[in-house]
Structure 1
Amino acid sequence: MAASLGSVSSLPPSLPTDVAASSFSRSPMSPPQVSVCFKPLYARALVSVKATSFNPTSEGVSENLVQKNGMDLKPSGPSALEMLKTSAADRYTKEMSSIIVIGLNIHTAPVEIREKLAIPETQWPQVIRELCALNHIEEAAVLSTCNRMEIYVVALSQHRGVKEVTEWMSKQSGVPISELCKHRFLLYNKDVTQHLFEVAAGLDSLVLGEGQILAQVKQVVKVGQGVAGFDRKISGLFKQAISVGKRVRTETNISSGSVSVSSAAVELALMKLSESSYANARVLVIGAGKMGKLVIKHLVAKGCKRIVIVNRNEEKVKAISQELTDVDIVYRPLSDMQESAAEVDVVFTCTASESPLFSKDNVQMLPPVGPAMRRRLFIDISVPRNVEPCVSDLETAELYNVDDLEEVVAANKEDRLQKAMEAQEIIFEELNKFEAWKDSLETVPTIKNFRAYVEGIRSSEFEKCMSKMGSDISKKHKEAIYDLSKTIVKKLLHGPMQHLRCDGNDDRSLSEVLENMRALNRMFDLETEVLLLEEKIRVKMERSQK
């Protein structure tokens, strides 16, 4: 597939902008690390917009774009969207939409920064709508986990889109823009695709090949379905990433023998136990969600015989106890959390609470642990954190969070690194296939407009023919002539349509397809670029009303 696609890197680079792109530099023989570098921003050729198309008094822009139901949609000040709609065309050049990811993850930002930007899953739809209400954002998606918070957008302008999303992130989190810029990473277009494919495949995780991230990518698609703004490009990107993640795990077995964040947490606690065994340890798990259930399973696998679970409701705990019949599972409500912590040696916290469950004062009030332990052990794998960091100042407590798991993720690393190299080959192949699909979308407006243009001629000529033949023509003959006109049009369109597609199934390059598109636009005066931009404006204005 790779040989049949015109390389995106062969496109002319855009002029330098005020936005620097950051990317991950990964060596196949070393764990994922981050290096920040300046990169050229790749963009499609800039296309000038015809001056007459944006004259506010001309027919190029419908009055419905300015007013609807008697309401004046124009803001009080000249917003970027209003300027784009009404200003003289010679002040603007058309910039093709870009896919951008703006994020912070375990490689670039400490947990105390990540937790401030964490977005609960229940808020993802609202965040998508808020992002798409920004002037230069067309589509959006959120991927927020304990190790990362990444926002994916399709932007009309790269630097304006980055500016708007960064300002939104700062406003929502309270983190100053200057601080965000120290820890964020920015990727564009093909680099975004490669990054998300690596994320879904488990190559960008703290633990190479960990499986939970694929489920989290699937959840992005599930939550985004039907949400305005989770549209064709972004949804297509995430759906393809899911396919890549499945294929990598099937063909490389990268997940076999690896540890997840939850199992690493259980391993870390085991390393800190004085007897290096869960046989006699008293254990409390707070939270029975996906992460909590995984922690419980790994505890059982390591020989833990009794586990106290604190959760909001008992249903999930009952389901877990029915599945794990070889261990004594005790349910306690949230109101008994402090009392339950007083009776155990090890506390795992893995809830979605946005405020700490344990403060320094709470922990200081707990009685001493049993004779087998020097200090009570807290393993906090939640983001935002469930245990206040100052708990580690106490002589009676020992606290670890998700950023402290490095010492246990070295297990089976060499084997997984070899499988990661195999996974990169799959990602490269899938990357080219996705880029071919995405690039083919550029010609969709031309295809639609050319079909409409030809269909308009066919319909007009058919009606003229019918009027000349009079009313004596039978229904059968009329249908035969109609079918003939449709067949002629279909056969005439076949050749041009084939030359406007770039789906990786032939030797046609992207540059050739785009040249065919421009030639068709010129020959038939389709003005696709103008119509496409007007459509984007219309969509933005409709969303602003909702």
Structure 2
Amino acid sequence: MAAVGGSSATTTLRTPPSSSASFRRSYQLRIFSKPSLKCAPLSATSSSLNPRSEVVSDNSVQKNNIAFNASSPSPLQLLKTYAPNRYTKEKSSIIAIGLNIHTAPIDIREKLAIPEVRWPQVITELCALNHIEEAAVLSTCNRVEIYVLALSQHRGVKEVNEWISKASGVKIEELCKHQVLLYNKDATQHLFEVAAGLDSLVLGEGQILSQVKQVVKSGEGVAGFDGKIRGMFKQAISVGKRVRSETDICSGSVSVSSAAVELGLRKLPESSYANARVLVVGAGKMGKLVIKHLAAKGCRKMVVVNRTEEKVNAIQQELKDVDIVFRPLSEMITCAAAADIVFTSTASKSPLFCKQDVQMLPLVRQGDRRRLFIDISIPRNVEPGVSDLETAFVYNVDDLEEVVAANKEVRLQKATEAREIIQEELTKFEAWKDSLETVPTIKKFRAYVERIRASEVEKCLSKMGNDISKEQKEAIYALSMGIVNKILHGPMQHLRCDANGNNCLNEVLENIRAINRMYDLETETSMFEEKIRVKMGRAKK
């Protein structure tokens, strides 16, 4: 896999996939823009991702009329000095970096898995990096994706990849072979497709939307989950809701949990849960769905092993016609010995079923059959070596493709409608995001005009003496405000992007630059310096 640096454009494949292989081809086309670029190990001195040199020449120093001491420049001085060349010409970029079920095998994905409880801390750690302003994490059984707003594309990618490598223990070269790397509009569209269920193993899967909602919920109040990234995730939730309410893409579709139950049904000799001895390990969100789908498929008795009994009791109240027996985690191996099929779906970071433990289990009732383990956890709850035993079959989330093909053709037709909705919402989001670029200039321009207005009103009132009444003062103030608002109306209309595309971004940005030049507002430099101050302030804490 190649890592793309700078502002390279991406090539996007939008044809609905008909198979897992086509998914992978789709991602390969979307991730790469320059096949000739190879992903090289990233280091503090490497410039392979940066076509512009990091070295500052003497000429450039003289040109800026700044005394340069090669042995002792402060980082802040360098950043401020060369801001026009390094940052103000390169706007902040939204970047999506990660792995998913279409690009990476489970043994790689599970190393990168980030528990939900750690998402806020990860946001904080990412935003502490030099070039990362905002961040969000989406980690599920099918994907681990990090979304950031970076001051610089190539430096942002470098820092996030180094963070991922350090946190997971996976070398950067290995990450590059499997990762999704998308920028700006492509990154936003990808998240919208994820929320709509178009990027799931099961096309139209609904559970992913609740996981995207959880990203917003867990990020509320966390410094770094705000601005564009928060707005993008909020918009993604709206996209997911619209797609589900307007397209019927979820009709007849299955989730990972139901696909696991269906797979178990196919692998049981009797193709029935009526007489099967079923064990479910874990009663969280995924485990609860497994239990419900088992009940829907005719399973009337099952054992549920969980750390606490409260969640199991709650499920029992919902499924009163099913005999659900709770057992503590300490009895898991004993329960597995009495089961024909075992479903696992916990957040355990280490395997619950090791090869040695499973090897000691008695044979299933018929004697010549293998015990079935269906593991939909990331990281995996069943040690990979268990599949080497002659007494067990092990299946994980990567083995569900034979099940998810059901009803796929119908959902592919609905996916076309879903993509039309996504394009509409994408246009709205891009207009909103672009409008944020104009806010600093608008504020500075208004403040500039307001200072002039207030100064002139003050001069006028001082000349009129103390005999002027309150009503007269208010009339003069209203007159001055009316004049200012009418004069500002035209310029403000041309400093805003709108969802209808009446003002294109290039035109608005040119207007911003013109206003900056005419009134010496220096917005870009001020914005840059403010970002640097914020980054330095975070680093000191």
Do they superpose with TM above 0.5?
yes
**Alpha-carbon distance change, 23 to 126 in structure 1, aligned in 2, over 3 angstroms:** farther
Sequence identity percentage: 75
Secondary structure of the residue that 1:331 maps to in structure 2? strand
**Alpha-carbon distance change, 18 to 138 in structure 1, aligned in 2, over 3 angstroms:** closer
Q: 2:24 is matched with which residue? A: 34
Cα offsets for 1:314-364 (capped at 9, x unmatched): 111111000111100111111111111111111111011111111011111
Q: Identify the match of residue 265 of structure 1 among 257, 260, 278.
A: 260
Q: Which moved more, 1:21-30 or 1:203-212?
A: 21-30
In 1, Cα distance between equivalents of 2:259 and 2:73: 53
Secondary structure of the residue that 1:378 maps to in structure 2? strand
Q: Identify the match of residue 78 of structure 2 among 73, 78, 83.
A: 83
In 2, Cα distance between equivalents of 1:372 and 1:274: 13
1:374 is aligned to 2:362: no
Task: Tell me, yes or no, if the aligned pair for 2:202 and 2:255 is still in contact at 8 Å.
Answer: yes
**Alpha-carbon distance change, 80 to 125 in structure 1, aligned in 2, over 3 angstroms:** farther
Q: Identify the match of residue 228 of structure 1 among 201, 206, 223.
A: 223
Q: 1:12 is matched with which residue? A: none
In 1, Cα distance between equivalents of 2:87 and 2:108: 38
Secondary structure of the residue that 1:152 maps to in structure 2? strand
CA drift of 1:127 comes to 0.5
Q: 1:384 is matched with which residue? A: 379
Secondary structure of the residue that 1:34 maps to in structure 2? helix
Cα offsets for 1:475-514 (capped at 9, x unmatched): 2322222222222222221211111111123623222222
In 1, Cα distance between equivalents of 2:307 and 2:83: 59
In 2, Cα distance between equivalents of 1:418 and 1:241: 21
Task: Tell me, yes or no, if the aligned pair for 1:55 and 1:86 is still in contact at 8 Å.
Answer: no
1:241 is aligned to 2:236: yes
In 2, Cα distance between equivalents of 1:482 and 1:158: 47
**Alpha-carbon distance change, 188 to 295 in structure 1, aligned in 2, over 3 angstroms:** same
The residue correspondences of 1:207-356 to structure 2 (distance < 5 A) are 207-356=202-351
In 1, Cα distance between equivalents of 2:144 and 2:516: 41
In 2, Cα distance between equivalents of 1:218 and 1:350: 21
**Alpha-carbon distance change, 297 to 255 in structure 1, aligned in 2, over 3 angstroms:** same
Q: Which moved more, 1:90-99 or 1:185-194?
A: 90-99
Q: 2:445 is matched with which residue? A: 450
TM-score (norm 1): 0.88
Q: Identify the match of residue 184 of structure 1 among 152, 155, 179.
A: 179
Q: 2:394 is matched with which residue? A: 399
1:357 is aligned to 2:352: yes
Task: Tell me, yes or no, if the aligned pair for 1:306 and 1:327 is still in contact at 8 Å.
Answer: yes
Cα offsets for 1:166-225 (capped at 9, x unmatched): 000000000011111111121001101111111011010001000000000111111111
In 2, Cα distance between equivalents of 1:382 and 1:284: 15
Q: 1:502 is matched with which residue? A: 497
In 1, Cα distance between equivalents of 2:143 and 2:239: 19
**Alpha-carbon distance change, 506 to 153 in structure 1, aligned in 2, over 3 angstroms:** closer
**Alpha-carbon distance change, 102 to 457 in structure 1, aligned in 2, over 3 angstroms:** same
In 2, Cα distance between equivalents of 1:97 and 1:255: 36
Q: Which structure exhibits the higher relative contact order, with contacts defined as CA atoms closer than 8 Å and separated by 6 or more residues?
A: 1
**Alpha-carbon distance change, 56 to 214 in structure 1, aligned in 2, over 3 angstroms:** farther
In 2, Cα distance between equivalents of 1:418 and 1:479: 64
Q: 1:474 is matched with which residue? A: 469
In 1, Cα distance between equivalents of 2:99 and 2:11: 12
Q: Structure 2 unaligned runs (5+)?
A: 38-59
Task: Tell me, yes or no, if the aligned pair for 1:109 and 1:184 is still in contact at 8 Å.
Answer: yes
**Alpha-carbon distance change, 288 to 56 in structure 1, aligned in 2, over 3 angstroms:** farther
Q: 1:202 is matched with which residue? A: 197
In 2, Cα distance between equivalents of 1:27 and 1:489: 52
The residue correspondences of 1:41-190 to structure 2 (distance < 5 A) are 83-86=78-81, 94-190=89-185
Q: 2:42 is matched with which residue? A: none
Q: Which moved more, 1:293-302 or 1:426-435?
A: 426-435
In 1, Cα distance between equivalents of 2:72 and 2:316: 61
Secondary structure of the residue that 2:372 maps to in structure 1? strand
Corresponding pairs, count: 505
**Alpha-carbon distance change, 481 to 56 in structure 1, aligned in 2, over 3 angstroms:** farther
Task: Tell me, yes or no, if the aligned pair for 2:83 and 2:528 is still in contact at 8 Å.
Answer: no
In 1, Cα distance between equivalents of 2:72 and 2:340: 61
Cα offsets for 1:355-397 (capped at 9, x unmatched): 1111011111211111287011110000000110000111111
Secondary structure of the residue that 1:142 maps to in structure 2? strand
User: CA RMSD of the aligned region, Å?
Assistant: 2.5
CA drift of 1:420 comes to 0.7
Q: 2:411 is matched with which residue? A: 416
Cα offsets for 1:121-163 (capped at 9, x unmatched): 1111111111111111111000000000000001111111100
Q: Structure 1 unaligned runs (5+)?
A: 1-15, 42-49, 58-75
Q: Identify the match of residue 515 of structure 1 among 506, 510, 531.
A: 510
Secondary structure of the residue that 2:496 maps to in structure 1? coil
In 1, Cα distance between equivalents of 2:368 and 2:268: 7
Secondary structure of the residue that 2:304 maps to in structure 1? strand
CA drift of 1:538 comes to 1.9
Task: Tell me, yes or no, if the aligned pair for 2:355 and 2:383 is still in contact at 8 Å.
Answer: yes
In 2, Cα distance between equivalents of 1:374 and 1:383: 27
In 2, Cα distance between equivalents of 1:373 and 1:303: 25
Secondary structure of the residue that 1:355 maps to in structure 2? coil
Task: Tell me, yes or no, if the aligned pair for 2:88 and 2:525 is still in contact at 8 Å.
Answer: no
CA drift of 1:34 comes to 2.4
Secondary structure of the residue that 2:126 maps to in structure 1? helix
